[in-house]
Amino acid sequence: MTTIMNVFYRPTENHVGVIYSRWGKFRRFAHPNTWTLVSPLGECIAQEVRLDMRTAKITLENVLTRDKVAIDLELKIFYSVDVREVHEDRRIQVLRFESERAWEEIVKTGITDIARNAIVISRSFDELATEAGLSYLKQALSGALAQRVRGFGILMSRFAVNIMNLQPNETFQQALQDESAARSFGNAAADRIRPLFEQFSDQDQKKAFLTLVMQIAAAVAKNGQSPDIIFPNSDDYLSGGGLTGNGHDPMGPNIQGIPRSRRPRSVAGD
C-alpha cells in the first residue's frame, strides 16, 4: 500500500483496502487505484484483500450417481474474492477471517455438498460419462456453487468448475473387470460343450445319457476330480415306475443297478 503523511492512502495494486475506526468498528473500503483520505486520529487501515483469480483443487471419492455407481471426481475451481460484495449480514464474519485460506475452504465445502447431494446424484453414470454429461456437470456445479458462496464475496463464472477427471472408483472398476472375465469364461465354456449338446440332439435319450457318463468319466480320469453333479431321484419328477409316456426312463438306464429309491447322490458317490 501507499500512504502520504498517513493521510492519503492507496491500496496495493489489485487489492481492496479495509478501513476501521480506532475503536475497532468497520468504516469503509478503499478502492483499487484510488487515493482515499484517512483520518489519522480516528481511522486505521486494517487489511488489504487481493482481487486476482484464485484456484482450488479437490478430489471427491465415492460420489454416488442416480444408479448407485460410486465415482471419483477431480475438480479445479476458479474464483475471485471481492470483500465489497460480501452480504452485509456476513461482513463482520468475513472481515475477521484469520487468513485468506478461509475462502478456499468455503469453496471446497460448498462444492462437496452440492456435488454429492444435488448434482451428481441427479444423473446416471452413463449420462455423466458422455461429452454432454460432462458439460452439464460443469455448468450445474458452477451455477449452484456461485449462488451459494456469493454472500461471502466469492465471485465465479458459469464455467468456473472444471472437471479434471471422472471415473468409477476402484471397487466398481474391479467389479466390471470381474464381470467381464466371468462372461468371457462362461462363453468359452459354452463353446467347448456346444459340440457335446449337438451330439445329444442326434441321439435317443438312453444313448445320450451313456455318452454323458462317458464324457464325465473321461474328465475325471484327466483331471483327477469328480464334478459336483447331482442325480435326483426319479420319484421327484414322475411316479408310477418312473417311465414317461414313450416308455423311456427320464433318468436314463439304471447304471450298475443303482436303486431308484435312494437319496440323490453325486457322481463322486457322496
Instruction: Please classify residue 45 by burial: count the beta carbons closer than 10 Å to its beta carbon, then call 0-12 exposed, 13-18 middle and 19+ buried.
Output: middle
Q: Is residue 232 part of a domain?
A: yes
Tens digits of residue pLDDT in 160-187 = 999 999 999 877 666 655 555 555 555 5
Name the burial class of residue 44, with classes exposed (0-12), middle (13-18) and buried (19+) by CB atoms within 10 angstroms of its CB.
middle
Residue 26 confidence (pLDDT): 92
Same domain, 133 and 152: yes
64 and 31, same structural domain?
no
Give me the residues paired with residue 48 across strands.
17
Q: Which three cell numbers stand for residue 189?
A: 465354456
Domain boundary among 31, 49, 67: 49
Cell, residue 235: 420319484
All residue ranges of the chain with pLDDT < 50 are 234, 236-258, 260-270
Instruction: Name beta bridge partners: 79.
Output: 54
Q: Which domain holds residue 200?
A: 192-266
> Do 165 and 230 belong to one domain?
no
Residue 187 lies in a domain: no
Q: What whole-number distance in Å separates Cα of residue 267 and Cα of residue 262?
A: 14
CATH of the domain at 65: 3.30.479.30
Domain count, the chain: 3
Assigned domain for 185 exists: no
What's the chain's average pLDDT?
Answer: 79
| pTM higher than 0.75 | no
Q: What is the per-residue pLDDT for 97? A: 93
Q: Rounded to whole angstroms, how far apart are CA atoms 94 and 82?
A: 11
Per-residue pLDDT, 39: 86
- Residue finishing a domain among 173, 208, 240: 173
Q: Are residues 163 and 99 in the same domain?
A: yes
Instruction: Based on the fold, state whether residues 124 and 100 are members of the same structural domain.
Output: yes
pLDDT at position 24 is 87
> Do residues 22 and 133 both lie within one domain?
no
